[in-house]
Amino acid sequence: MIDFKLLLNQINPFSSRHETSGNHDQEEFKLPNLPSLVIMISMNLLLQVSFFIVVSSSNKYAEYLGGNATFSGIVIGIPTAFSGLSLIPLTKYDRGMYRMPLHVSCCFAILGHIAYALAYRSNFLYLILIGRCLNGVAFSMFMYCKRYCTDPRIVGIRRRTTLASWLVICQGMGMTLGPFLGGVMYNIGFSNPIFNGYTSLGWIMAGIYAGFWVLVAKYFEDIPQPPTIIESQSASDSNALILSSDVKGGDREASSGYRSASATRPASPVDESFRAQLSLITLSQWGVIACMCWFAMLCFFILGSWEANLPVFGAAAENFHWSPFAAGNFIALGGITCFPFLLFNLLAARRTQDRKLLAFGTVLGLAGLIIFISILRTGKVNYGSLFACWWSVALGFNLATTVTLSLLSKQLPPEWNGRTSMAIQYSNYTGRVTGAIWGGSGVSVGMLNFVGLEIAMVGIGAVLFTTLWRDLKTKTG
C-alpha cells in the first residue's frame, strides 16, 4: 500500500531551510488537508476510469443496438459537452467550495452508469447516450479537481505543478485501467441479459461510486474560508489590493487612471474589483492565457481522438481485426508503459520550468504523429510501429497537460483561479468532445486526413509557445 503522504513529502520535502525562512516560504509550500486531498485525487482517478472504460467496447455496443462508429465516437465524447453545461449552475451555487460538487458528481455518476447498463435490456440505442450525458454532469468534477490543486487558499505556488502531476498520473491510470477493464468485461461476456459484456462495466462502476460516496460524506473536509475575499470587500479594499500588488509602474499608473475616470459612475464592489483585476492583466498575460487554453484543448483533442479511433481502426485494418478486448489491451499497454515516466514527472516538476515541460511533451507527441503519418503513407503499419506512435502520443500530450492550469495560477492574481480553472476546463471539454467524434470518424474521413489535422493543430500551438516563450517563465514546483 503506497503511503501517499510519505511519497508526496519525498517529492517536495520541507527542509529545515524552508521551516526557518519565514511565513512567505511556508505559504509557497503549503498543502491542503491530506484526507481531503486524497479524496479529490481519487475522485479524479474514478472519473478518468469512467470516461475511458467504454472506449474499447462502445463501438460494438452501439452496433448491437443499431448505431455506427461515428455514433460510438459521440457516445465517448458527448459527456464533456454536458459537463460544460452543468458547470454553469454548479459554479453559481458552489460558493467557491467543493463538497456540494462532490456529492453531485457521485450521484450522477451512479445514475449514468446504471442507465448505460440498462440500454441492453431495453434495446434502446439512445439510452447509452443518455447514460453518458448523466455521466457528463459527474465529469464536471474534473474542473473542481484542477481548481482544488491550484487553489491559492490551500495550495502554495511551489506545490501546484506537483499536484497537477498527480492529476496527470490519474489521467494515465484511467487511460490504462478503463479500456483494459472494459475489454476484460467484454471478453468474459456473462450471458445474463442484465449483467453481460456490454453492461457489467456500468454496474461495477455504479457500485464503486456508491462506496466512494460514503467515504466522501465521512472524511472530506471543505475549505472553511469564504468563497472569495474580493467579492466581500468594498471598493476601497480593492483599491488597496491594487496598490499592494506587485505590478510595473506603468501598469499601476494605468490602473490608477482607470479608477479616476470611472469614479464618477456608481458601480458595485464586485464590478469595481473585477475591473481593477482586469486592469492588472497585461497584454503578454492575455497571450499566455490564450496559449494555455489552446494547449488544453489540443492535448485532449488528440488524446481523445486516438482513444476513440484505435478500436475502430484496429477492427477495420486487414492485419489487425481487433476485438474490443484486443483494442482495450492495446490502449492499456500504452498507458502502462507511460506510467513510469509520469511518475518521474513528479520529480521533474520540482525543478523544471513549466514551459520546458510543455515544450518537451509537445515535441514528443508531435514525433508520434509524424511517424504515424509516415507509416500510413508507406503502408507499413504493424503492431509494433502503431504502438510506438501511440506511446509517443499518449506520453507526450499527457505530460503537456500537466502545466496548462498550474502555469496560469502562478502568473495571474489569486482571485483569477476560479476563472482560469473554468477557461482551461472548457478548453479540455472542447478537445475531448470534438476529439472523440473526430476519432470515431477517422477511418471514414481517411487516416491521412485524420493525422494531418492533428499535426496542423500542433503547429499552431508551436507558434504560440515559441512566440510567448519568455512570457511563459514561472516558478518551479
The 3-state secondary structure of 161-196 reads: HHHHHHHHHHHHHHHHHHHHHHHHHHHHCCECCCCE
Whether the predicted pLDDT of 176 surpasses 80? yes
Residue 347, pLDDT > 50, answer yes
In a domain, 66, yes or no: yes
Within-domain flag for 238: no
Give residue-wise pLDDT tens across range 111-135.
Answer: 999 999 999 999 998 999 999 999 9
In a domain, 10, yes or no: no
Query: What pLDDT, on the 0 to 100 scale, is given for residue 413?
Result: 79
Please indicate, yes or no, if residue 337 is contained in any of the structural domains.
yes
Domain assignment present for residue 253? The answer is no
Give residue 212's pLDDT: 96
Phi-psi category of 140—alpha, beta or left, where left has phi over 0 and alpha has psi -120 to 50?
alpha
More confident: 13 or 78: 78
With respect to residue 231, please indicate whether it lies within any of the assigned structural domains.
Answer: no
The per-residue pLDDT for range 205-251, each reduced to its tens digit, is 999 999 999 999 999 999 875 544 444 444 334 443 333 344 344 44
Q: Is residue 371 part of a domain?
A: yes
Does some domain include residue 235? no
Tell whether the model's pLDDT for residue 12 goes beyond 60: no
100-118 mean pLDDT = 95
Q: What is the CATH number of the domain that holds 431?
A: 1.20.1250.20
Number of domains in the chain: 1
Quote the pLDDT of residue 236: 37
Q: How confident is the model at residue 412 (pLDDT cuts 50, 70, 90)?
A: confident
Q: 148 is in which domain, residue-wise?
A: 34-223+282-472
User: pLDDT tens digits, residue range 354-411?
Assistant: 889 999 999 999 999 999 999 999 888 899 999 999 999 999 999 998 888 888 888 8
Mean pLDDT (the chain) is: 82
pLDDT at 446: 92
Q: What is the DSSP string of 5-70?
A: HHHHHHHS---HHHHTS-HHHHHHT----HHHHHHHHHHHHHHHHHHHTTTTTHHHHHHHTT--HH
C-alpha–C-alpha distance, residues 454 and 301, integer Å: 8
Kindly indicate the confidence band of residue 175, based on its pLDDT and cuts at 50, 70 and 90.
confident
CB 373 within 8 A of CB 268: no
pTM: 0.74
pLDDT at 275: 66
